[in-house]
Amino acid sequence: MERTPTMTEAAKRLGITRVTLGRLVREGTLPVMTNPLDKRQRLFPEAAIRALEVEQPRWRPRTEGALVNPGLRSDEIDDYLEAHWRPE
């Protein structure tokens, strides 16, 4: 039978938090099973964990930050926020 890591083990292997792992499950990126012996525990197929490790070795949080403007210097942050930030 294939090994099925728990939520904590899977998060540790992928280098992400349990919250991020839950998001991957909700988005349908990662299949999940319920432990037949403990309905509260979630288990993940080993193949799915390996596929995510190969596909994206280190998950990054969704952020725009430096990706939008990599040349932004720390002394320009206040001006940048004033020009681009819109409160909702």
Q: Domain-by-domain residue ranges, the chain?
A: 7-62
Listed in sequence order, the residues at least 6 apart from 48 whose beta carbon sits closer than 8 Å to its beta carbon are: 30, 31
What confidence score (pLDDT) does residue 31 get? 93
Please write down the HEC assignment for all residues of 54-85: HHCCCCCCCCCHHHHCCCCCHHHHHHHHHHHC
What confidence score (pLDDT) does residue 25 get? 92
CA distance 68 to 47: 34
Choice among 18-22, 28-32, 50-54 with the minimum mean pLDDT: 50-54
What's the half-sphere exposure (Cβ side, CA atoms, 13 Å) at 86?
2
What's the half-sphere exposure (Cβ side, CA atoms, 13 Å) at 69?
8
